[in-house]
């Protein structure tokens, strides 16, 4: 598929999606959100893709925010629909993908950019990365899940401070907060993501999908995460991956999982 605002590249079990609007610091507009949805959907359905990495082009920005010019004159109703559609199309969609998604945060991740990174299953940052939710400085609040996911990741107090001050934190502070898992120099960012992806790919894609479902369940209102875990655990017993994994263990050999 041809894209105007992103790049999608498959290599050795990994699909790397790159937001490619460097002159706009990779800001998210409607067209880019739609293309990201399409690229994530295609990668998730691709039986050969075991891990997805999302990053930004250049060395300045992962995503420096949303394209404010698109919604500066929106009404109350239009603003609400913007959030509803964006969450469904991209942010919630990414969080609930069966395929693991790693955010390679290669610079500024602000507003919708940080919200996109937080919707991924985990994050790795370059040393020059800066993260924040500056929406209150514009008279609005984060609308793509930021008020929900940030407290889950860093705690209520830290999230309140970040949102209320509209300030940025650096990569090392993000690491200490638990917002990112690792911090490396820019040149090491994608290689580390690929190294971790390699470790993920040794394991059962089917089991990983059930694990994602189970972990996410604990953050959903009205859902009993323990019950989902029990259900997912049971589901695994009926899969080819379980038969192969247990046989390989008992036979003292490396498992050769069938895949998605």
By annotation, the residues acting in catalysis are: 115, 135
Checking if the pLDDT of 120 tops 90, the result is yes
Alpha carbon of 93 to those of 33, 97, 126, 155: distances in Å?
Answer: 11, 6, 25, 23
Q: Report the SS3 class of residue 122.
A: strand
Distance CA 100, CA 201 (A): 10
What is the pLDDT of the chain when averaged over all its residues?
Answer: 96
What pLDDT was estimated at residue 72?
Answer: 86
> Which residues of 41-159 form beta strands (DSSP E)?
51-56, 61-63, 101-105, 108-110, 122-126, 130-132
Checking if the pLDDT of 259 tops 90, the result is no
Helix axes 112-119, 146-154, angle to 10 degrees: 60
Does the pTM surpass 0.85? The reply is yes
Checking if the pLDDT of 1 tops 80, the result is no
Half-sphere exposure for 130 (CA within 13 Å, toward CB)? 10
pLDDT in tens, 4-45: 999 999 999 999 999 999 999 999 999 999 999 999 999 999
Checking if the pLDDT of 186 tops 90, the result is yes
Across the range 226-251, mean pLDDT stands at: 96
Distance CA 69, CA 232 (A): 44
pLDDT in tens, 138-178: 999 999 999 999 999 999 999 999 999 999 999 999 999 99
Distance of CA 214 to the CA centre of its chain: 17
């Amino acid at each position: 598929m041809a894209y105007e605002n992103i790049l999608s590249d498959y290599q050795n079990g990994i699909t790397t999606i790159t937001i490619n609007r460097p002159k706009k610091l990779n800001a998210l507009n409607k067209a880019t959100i739609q293309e990201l949805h399409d690229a994530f959907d295609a990668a998730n359905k691709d039986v050969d893709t075991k891990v997805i990495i999302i990053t930004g082009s250049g060395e300045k920005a992962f995503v420096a925010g949303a394209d404010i010019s698109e919604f500066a004159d929106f009404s109350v109703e239009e603003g609400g629909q913007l959030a509803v559609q964006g969450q469904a199309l991209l942010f919630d969609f990414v969080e609930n993908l069966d395929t693991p998604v790693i955010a390679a945060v290669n610079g500024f991740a602000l507003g919708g950019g940080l919200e996109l990174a937080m919707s991924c299953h985990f994050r790795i940052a370059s040393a020059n990365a800066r993260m924040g939710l500056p929406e209150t400085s514009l008279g609005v609040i984060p609308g793509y899940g930021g008020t929900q996911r940030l407290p889950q990741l860093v705690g209520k107090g830290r999230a309140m401070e970040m949102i209320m001050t509209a300030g940025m934190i650096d990569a090392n502070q993000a690491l200490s907060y638990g917002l990112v898992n690792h911090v490396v120099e820019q040149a090491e960012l994608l290689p580390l993501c690929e190294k971790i992806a390699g470790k993920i790919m040794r394991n059962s894609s089917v089991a990983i999908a059930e694990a994602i479902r189970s972990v996410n369940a604990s953050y959903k209102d009205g859902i009993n995460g323990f019950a989902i875990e029990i259900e997912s655990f049971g589901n695994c017993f009926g899969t080819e991956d379980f038969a192969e994994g247990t046989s390989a263990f008992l036979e003292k050999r490396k498992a050769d999982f069938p895949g998605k």
